[in-house]
Structure 1
Amino acid sequence: MRILSAGDEFVGTDLLQAAVRAELAGTGVDPEFRELSLPWPIEPFGPVAEVNEASGTEEQVIEALDGAEVAVTQMAPFTGKVFEAAPNLKLVSVCRGGPVNVDLAAATEAGVAVTFAPGRNAAAAAEFAVGLLLAAMRRISTSSAELLAGTWRGDYYAYPNAGVELEGTTVGLVGYGAIGARVAKVLLAFGAKVLVADPYADRAAVEAAGAELVELDELMRRSFAVSLHARLTEETRNLIDAEKLALLPHGAVLVNSARGGLLDYSPLPEMLRSGRLGAVALDVYDVEPPPADWALRDAPNVIATPHLAGASKQTADRAAAIVAAEVGRYVRGEALANVANPDVLTR
């Protein structure tokens, strides 16, 4: 069986191949690998033709496929043009939480099943979000940067400038999927009171975990800290805008390690300068990387990291294992676990 392993600098080609070989051991199928190495994350992803967040070109993928029946990847663009040029292709297994690098309509038309890897980075992203929250509430990152720059900020110990503990603080989580639920669990262990806003969350499950399910406006009014964990859709784009930010208590903390498009960034600089927002911790942006004249560069109490929330070695290992497991199911004739275009199964 010919398989394209289109890896990158995070989930590498070798890692994908090793996982697939391990999964197919004992099946009698000897994979013949075609290889494509992509430059992400050294080079940022971006749109390719009609798909979003891809790395590499359509021409590279078409050449690398060369009659492959299966493809495993994280970032390679699978567009209508690619599917049209790859008549032997039957399965594309994407090791991401959503296959945004695949044209699902074109895949379905071509009879290609597309799978994805939900939860592969849930632990890493949840830990990172809590880390950002702690860093912002206790001034860990800003005070460290100032000390290394030669400034000893003893005034941070003065009562008006002192940080705020998680214990006893109300934290609002916008989104309660695999990551949001993990964040809630950790915050509750710290002794925080956790509010959740998610129209798709199961109330009984939220309450059983020890959190409270509320409407978004109520969450914004009651939460001293808010962390975003929703998926980016047309429904959630700019979900947290100036109107929603104005509902927050004075001096509140905002964390976004989910998707840049969830948040309207334009009100943040002035809200930080006025003290209306106490701190902002960001791992994702409306434009990545932020431009040189990015307004938040000069705003106070900003923590900014370069889209690292999911970047753990375990995430890469887990992602490769998940896509390999789908290849194993395909080879054995079993039902695929996470199909993004289920209509293809009836074709």
Structure 2
Amino acid sequence: MPRVLISDKLSPAAVEIFRRRGIEADFRPGLSPAELRAIIAPYDGLAVRSATKVTRELLEAARNLKVVGRAGIGVDNVDVTSATARGVVVMNTPYGNAITTAEHAIAMMFALARQIPEASASTKAGKWEKNRFMGVELFGKTLGLIGCGNIGSIVADRAIGLKMKVIAYDPFLSEKRARELGVEKVELDELLARADFVSLHAPLTEQTRNILSREALFRMKKGARLINCARGGLVDEAALHDALREGHLAGAALDVFETEPATESPLFALENVVCTPHLGASTMEAQEKVALQIADQMADFLLSGAVSNAINMPSVTAEEAPRLKPYMELARLLGSLAGQLTAAQQAVIRSIRVEYEGHAAELNHRPLTAAALAGVLAPLLGAVNMVNAPVVARERGIEVAETTLERSGEYQTLLRLTVVTDRFERSVAGTLVVGDRPRLVAIKGIAVEADFAPHMLYVTNQDKPGFIGRFGMTLAEAGINIATLHLGRSEPGGDAICLVGLDGPVPEEVLAAVRRLPLVVQATPLAF
């Protein structure tokens, strides 16, 4: 039974989902980093919100961890790079709190435009300062969205309903999508110059950090107002303080800060600043939704291999997972065969090609290619799996290519994997037979029909009479039983391949004896 640790406050319904699906779930919110490191080792999954920091040190202690689920959109509290390096899937719930966050941005815009927090505090203090709080209408004003993805598009829809003019800066927003949303796509400088209100809805990346720098803030339209319900770090907070104090900007509404919890800031002293403690996703509906969503996603992954909303791995739907599973195993086995043969010859891999023919060409290829890469690289580098294999290949300068051929050849479905090294090029091919069983069908272009076995011996030799007898006798004299024997050759008297399934590993002295046999070119033990 898989085990999941929930280390932040999630809806009790999430715990119930795990348990109903046969997953042991321990609810332990409020643990210190040291306490969490001390207990994390046996868990397969870790479910968090924003309080738990999933650091490199925590991941190193989590030797059994397979998935981290973040109930929410941001993964700032997860070291995704370290998780990927350790082969841990990182998931989030990018759509569960979209409406709630968008509504909060609209609420903050209203609060800023009508000075509602200050007016409320004044009235509760026994004052009646009706003339002090002169606001502005949203009607007819221009709203500039920096980021127009899922949340930004919802904000646009609500703002258009308020009869605002909406313009958007987003490098990934197409003109067609902009027209569908009813927004005008502009460059950042134009947005800053035209917008009466600017609302941020971009992720925090190296490209977006301080996107509203001091220079950008002072390029904003004089008297404009800023709303940030996205991420701290998008705005230079010291520069924003200066722009507000000097009167260049009329106000700002901030739900997020560069350092959180934000218990002190010069911005807090300004009357024209509205602040909330990262409440964008804090509604009962949103918290329930993301908790249930992350529980289902993690359960799907741990039980069936389905991957949804992963940051560092291709998606595999729950419907796809059963169909893809045998193909992923075939890809892994072919990759492992190619990787072990490459490692035995100490060659440096330059590129890897994966070809899909027939039924295989109709599938979701990304997880299959990731499985093939993991198979190739694991014999060479050790702890490599589907999650980190593409990153490892990229870091080592290994080019990866995929091709598809929808028509069937000799086989209804076929995967062919080719490894190009600094010294040679080698391909292996396989198919699925009755019962979705992986079968090897070719090595180096030579037909070799063989089932994969836990222990095998791969031998290449010159195709001459007498070899099989001497080879069989060598194994027999060592007390090694041959479970299966598969032969192939390029042409009579040419290169030949002998692939033997064995009951156990080949002892080193027996391997040495095989390598000394006449006509043997290569002898490599294999383990799957």
| Inter-CA distance 150–95: structure 2 relative to 1 (3 Å threshold) | same
SS at match of 1:126: helix
What is the identity, as a one-letter code, of the residue corresponding to 1:31?
I
Distance, in Å, in 2 between the alignment partners of 1:203 and 1:194 is: 14
Q: State the superposition RMSD in angstroms.
A: 2.3
| Inter-CA distance 278–84: structure 2 relative to 1 (3 Å threshold) | closer
> How many Å apart are 1:179 and its aligned residue?
1.2
Conserved? CA contact 1:114–1:340, under 8 Å = yes
Greater strand proportion: 2
Q: Which segment drifts farther, 88-97 or 305-314? A: 88-97
Q: Which residue of structure 1 aligns with residue 284 of structure 2?
A: 313
Distance, in Å, in 2 between the alignment partners of 1:117 and 1:166 is: 31
SS at match of 1:173: strand
Match for 2:23 among 1, 23, 31? 31
Q: Which residue of structure 2 aligns with residue 272 of structure 1?
A: 244
Match for 2:48 among 50, 60, 73? 73
| Inter-CA distance 69–154: structure 2 relative to 1 (3 Å threshold) | closer
Conserved? CA contact 1:2–1:67, under 8 Å = no
Match for 1:144 among 120, 133, 149? 120
> How many Å apart are 1:182 and its aligned residue?
0.8
Distance, in Å, in 2 between the alignment partners of 1:31 and 1:103 is: 25
What is the identity, as a one-letter code, of the residue corresponding to 1:8?
D
| Inter-CA distance 280–328: structure 2 relative to 1 (3 Å threshold) | same
The 5 A counterparts of 1:241-260 are 241-260=213-232
Conserved? CA contact 2:18–2:25, under 8 Å = no
Q: Does 1:2 align with 2:2?
A: yes
Distance, in Å, in 1 between the alignment partners of 2:166 and 2:211 is: 20
Q: Which residue of structure 1 aligns with residue 148 of structure 2?
A: 176
Structure 2-normalised TM-score?
0.56
What is the identity, as a one-letter code, of the residue corresponding to 1:247?
R
The 5 A counterparts of 1:115-194 are 115-156=91-132, 162-194=134-166
What is the identity, as a one-letter code, of the residue corresponding to 2:101?
A
SS at match of 2:238: coil
Q: Which residue of structure 2 aligns with residue 234 of structure 1?
A: 206
| Inter-CA distance 299–18: structure 2 relative to 1 (3 Å threshold) | same
Conserved? CA contact 1:80–1:107, under 8 Å = yes
Q: Does 1:285 align with 2:277?
A: no
SS at match of 2:250: strand
1:216-264 C-alpha deviation (Å, 9 max, x unpaired): 1100100111111111111111111222122222221111111120111
| Inter-CA distance 93–8: structure 2 relative to 1 (3 Å threshold) | closer
1:22-59 C-alpha deviation (Å, 9 max, x unpaired): 4x2xxxxx3223332127xxxxxxxxxxxxxxxx41x3
**Unaligned stretches of 5+ residues in structure 2:** 314-369, 371-384, 390-528
Distance, in Å, in 2 between the alignment partners of 1:144 and 1:228 is: 26
SS at match of 1:246: helix
> How many Å apart are 1:118 and its aligned residue?
1.0
Distance, in Å, in 2 between the alignment partners of 1:103 and 1:287 is: 17
Conserved? CA contact 2:143–2:166, under 8 Å = yes
What is the identity, as a one-letter code, of the residue corresponding to 1:330?
F
Q: Which residue of structure 1 aligns with residue 90 of structure 2?
A: 114
> How many Å apart are 1:291 and its aligned residue?
5.0
Match for 2:19 among 7, 17, 21? 21
Distance, in Å, in 2 between the alignment partners of 1:271 and 1:175 is: 22
Q: Does 1:333 align with 2:304?
A: yes
Distance, in Å, in 2 between the alignment partners of 1:238 and 1:318 is: 31
| Inter-CA distance 78–289: structure 2 relative to 1 (3 Å threshold) | closer
Conserved? CA contact 1:4–1:68, under 8 Å = yes
Q: Which residue of structure 1 aligns with residue 455 of structure 2?
A: none
Conserved? CA contact 2:73–2:92, under 8 Å = yes
> How many Å apart are 1:188 and its aligned residue?
0.4
> How many Å apart are 1:126 and its aligned residue?
0.6
Conserved? CA contact 2:83–2:89, under 8 Å = yes
Distance, in Å, in 2 between the alignment partners of 1:251 and 1:165 is: 14
Q: Percent identity?
A: 34
What is the identity, as a one-letter code, of the residue corresponding to 1:114?
V
Larger Rg computed on CA atoms: 2
Distance, in Å, in 1 between the alignment partners of 2:42 and 2:271 is: 54
Question: Which has the higher relative contact order, 1 or 2, with Cα contacts under 8 A spaced 6 or more apart?
Answer: 1
Distance, in Å, in 1 between the alignment partners of 2:285 and 2:267 is: 32
Distance, in Å, in 1 between the alignment partners of 2:135 and 2:262 is: 28
Distance, in Å, in 2 between the alignment partners of 1:88 and 1:329 is: 18
Q: Which residue of structure 2 aligns with residue 100 of structure 1?
A: 76
1:146-183 C-alpha deviation (Å, 9 max, x unpaired): 22223322224xxxx73222221101011112211111
| Inter-CA distance 324–289: structure 2 relative to 1 (3 Å threshold) | closer
What is the identity, as a one-letter code, of the residue corresponding to 1:21?
R
1:198-226 C-alpha deviation (Å, 9 max, x unpaired): 11222211221111110111001001111
| Inter-CA distance 166–258: structure 2 relative to 1 (3 Å threshold) | same
Q: Which residue of structure 2 aligns with residue 27 of structure 1?
A: none
> How many Å apart are 1:66 and its aligned residue?
4.5
Q: Does 1:199 align with 2:174?
A: no
SS at match of 2:28: strand
| Inter-CA distance 87–268: structure 2 relative to 1 (3 Å threshold) | closer
Distance, in Å, in 2 between the alignment partners of 1:84 and 1:139 is: 49
What is the identity, as a one-letter code, of the residue corresponding to 2:4?
L
SS at match of 1:145: helix
Distance, in Å, in 2 between the alignment partners of 1:284 and 1:316 is: 18
Distance, in Å, in 2 between the alignment partners of 1:246 and 1:307 is: 25
Structure 1-normalised TM-score?
0.83
1:78-99 C-alpha deviation (Å, 9 max, x unpaired): 3333333333322222223143
Q: Which residue of structure 2 aligns with residue 46 of structure 1?
A: none
| Inter-CA distance 267–151: structure 2 relative to 1 (3 Å threshold) | farther
